[in-house]
Amino acid sequence: RMYKSRTICRSDIDSFEAPFLAIYESLIPPEEEKAQQKQLLTLLEKLVSKEWPNARLYLYGSCANSFGVSKSDIDVCLAIEETDMDKSDIVLKLANILQSDNLQNVQALTRARVPIVKLKDPVTGISCDICINNLLAVVNTKLLRDYAQIDSRLRQLAFIIKHWAKSRGVNETYQGTLSSYAYVLMCIHFLQHRRPAILPCLQEMETTYSVTVEDIECSYFDQVEKLRDFGYYNKENIAQLVWGFFSYWAYRHDYANAVISVRTGSIISKQEKDWTRRIGNDRHLICIEDPFETRHDLGRVVDKYSIKVLREEFERAAEIMQYDPNPCVKLFEPY
């Protein structure tokens, strides 16, 4: 039974395509919500440009990378050249600027690891975090959005995986499990590895987009409208892909040696990255290379306790996908 579950998919797997697609569709944010987010951004831009005419605001994270489900908070980055102020001073000043009749609960969190301003729009209830000069996040947001445009199965898979991770309590970096960003990278990597491949490796292709941020050169092929047929020869549907994703992370990933790398579109070794030992709090128990900050392992938040939790959840999900009569319900049952 165990052997079988590692290799061959159940014969009725295709009957779950429609229910998985229905779940995906129920998670997509309605147009109205997108419009409200834009309105809030416009208000913020107006308030900021009065004080700092050269500053710019960028949306990043799930509100801009196309992997945001309905009712997500929005992530905003203030890009500003203020050489004489550190980030916590900027955050304090920004909170003052934004304190207006139209906004509620504007808070400056100056002592957080990443200083931010938090606020809430009282009309729509949208919450927003504003960070300062985190332009790498803006660039990796674009990379994710570009990948999503190549094949619709990426967005479907990532929504299902994020929904599963939130339902099962394994999307909490402060508890040692993985960020949404890490799960999306896992999905991209998985689709780069299907045979035939469903996604290409954009960073290995001709450069059509290039920016240098914090001394890191970020370049890749971003003319994704030319790649719309890329996954044509692979006919797998969302149910098969969810099954394959969990069976990979439950039974086939080499946790001892392997690093998944969207940047190279392949698996590289921990040895090569020098991620074989614990250094400080970085233990490298599950290794996901950031596509641009390549020294950065998105699995570094995972500790010896939470790795067990994660792997048990992957195994539970794989078993459900293989044997459960009703996987589209069972997978998302609260823990």
- Contacting residues toward Mg ion, per CB under 5 A: 61-62, 75
Q: Shortest gap between Cβ of 181 and ligand ATP (angstroms)? A: 4
By CB under 6 A, is residue 115 in contact with ligand ATP? no
Nearer to ligand ATP, 6 or 296 (CB): 296
- CA dihedral angle for residue 89, residue 127, residue 299, residue 234, rounded to 10 degrees: -130
Do 165 and 118 touch, CB atoms closer than 8 A? Answer: no
Residue type, 43: L
Question: Please, which residue, 61 or 244, has the CB nearer to Mg ion?
Answer: 61
The count of other CB atoms within 10 Å of the CB of residue 186 is: 24
Q: What is the CA radius of gyration of the chain?
A: 21
Closest CB to ligand ATP among residues 60, 221 = 60
Cα separations in angstroms, 204 against 191, 265, 278, 293, 333? 15, 8, 30, 16, 39
Sign of CA dihedral 280, 281, 285, 287: negative
Residues in the chain: 335
Among positions 193-252, residues that touch ligand ATP (CB under 6 A) are none
What is the closest distance, in whole angstroms, from the C-beta atom of residue 102 to Mg ion in the complex? 22
Q: How far is the CB of 235 from ligand ATP (least distance, A)?
A: 29
b/e for 190-227, b at 16 or more Cβ within 10 A? bbbbbeebbbbbbbeeeeeeeeebeeeebbbbbebeeb
Cα–Cα distance for residue pair 232/247, rounded to 1 Å: 23
How far apart CA 40 and CA 106 sit, in angstroms, is: 14
Q: Does 60 bind ligand ATP (CB under 6 A)?
A: yes
SS3 206: coil
Binding status of residue 160 toward ligand ATP by CB under 6 A: no
**CB 307 to ligand ATP: min, Å:** 17
Q: Is residue 127 a contact point for ligand ATP (CB under 6 A)? A: no
Residue placing its CB nearer to Mg ion in the complex, 61 or 265: 61
Q: Does 290 bind ligand ATP (CB under 6 A)?
A: yes
Binding residue (CB under 6 A) for ligand ATP from 141, 203, 240, 261:
141
Tell me the site size for ligand ATP, rule CB under 6 A: 17
Q: Is the peptide bond before 196 cis (omega within 30 degrees of 0)?
A: yes
Distance of closest approach, residue 63 Cβ to Mg ion, in angstroms = 7
Residue number with the smallest Cβ distance to Mg ion: 61
What stretches of the chain show up as alpha helix (H) in DSSP? 2-7, 17-27, 31-51, 87-98, 135-150, 152-167, 180-192, 238-247, 270-273, 306-323, 327-330
In the list ligand ATP, Mg ion, none, the entry touching 221 (Cβ below 5 to 8 angstroms by class) is none
Q: Determine the interface stretch with ligand ATP among 19-27, 58-66, 257-265, 274-282 (rule: CB under 6 A).
A: 58-66
Q: Select the residue interacting with ligand ATP from 23, 224, 298, 320 (CB under 6 A).
A: 298
What's the closest the beta carbon of residue 326 comes to ligand ATP, in angstroms? 26
Q: Does 68 bind ligand ATP (CB under 6 A)?
A: yes
| Residue 75 or 236 having the CB closest to Mg ion | 75
Q: How many CB atoms lie within 10 A of CB 130?
A: 25
The binding site for ligand ATP (CB under 6 A) comprises 60-62, 65, 67-68, 72, 75, 137, 140-141, 179-181, 290, 296, 298
